[in-house]
């Protein structure tokens, strides 16, 4: 299985962009897929979870601005970033949990078994 993130770029504060996590070699719905953000000088942190039952979980600092979607993705998950802020800057990674296991919440990094290479988002003020 392979994960490929795309859609990152440089935007202005207040702009929107959509990140894609495409899964190949497996069926995305068999996995909980979580997005992580690694800001400059900080650890990689979980920000949004798309669970196998379509439930979604978000970190407090992005609730109301970020949105997850599986329905519009080919075989993966989209992360919509709205009203981007400079603090959203970082490298965004998606990762999958174990096969056919639910996440049930934002989940610690060590639980995830497969990772993409990340896509960079830079938000300037």
Those residues with Cβ within 8 angstroms of residue 81's Cβ, 6 or more apart along the chain or in another chain: 16, 17, 18, 19, 65, 66, 88, 121
**CA 98 from centroid of its chain's CA atoms:** 17
In whole angstroms, give the CA distance from residue 47 to residue 53.
18
Those residues with Cβ within 8 angstroms of residue 110's Cβ, 6 or more apart along the chain or in another chain: none
Residue 74 binned pLDDT confidence (cut-offs 50, 70, 90): confident
Q: What is the pLDDT of residue 71?
A: 73
Residue-wise pLDDT tens digits, 3-13: 999 999 999 99
């Amino acid at each position: 299985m392979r994960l490929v993130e795309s859609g990152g770029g440089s935007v202005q504060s207040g702009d929107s962009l959509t990140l894609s996590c495409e899964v190949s070699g497996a069926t995305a719905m068999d996995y909980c897929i979580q997005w992580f953000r690694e800001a400059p000088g900080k650890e990689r942190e979980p920000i949004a979870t798309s669970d196998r039952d379509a439930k979604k979980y978000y970190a407090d600092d992005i609730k109301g601005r970020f949105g997850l979607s599986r329905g519009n993705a080919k075989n993966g998950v989209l992360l919509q970033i709205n009203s981007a802020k400079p603090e959203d800057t970082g490298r965004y990674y998606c990762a999958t949990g174990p096969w056919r296991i639910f996440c049930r919440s934002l989940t610690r990094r060590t639980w995830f078994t497969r990772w993409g290479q990340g896509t960079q988002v830079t938000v300037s003020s």
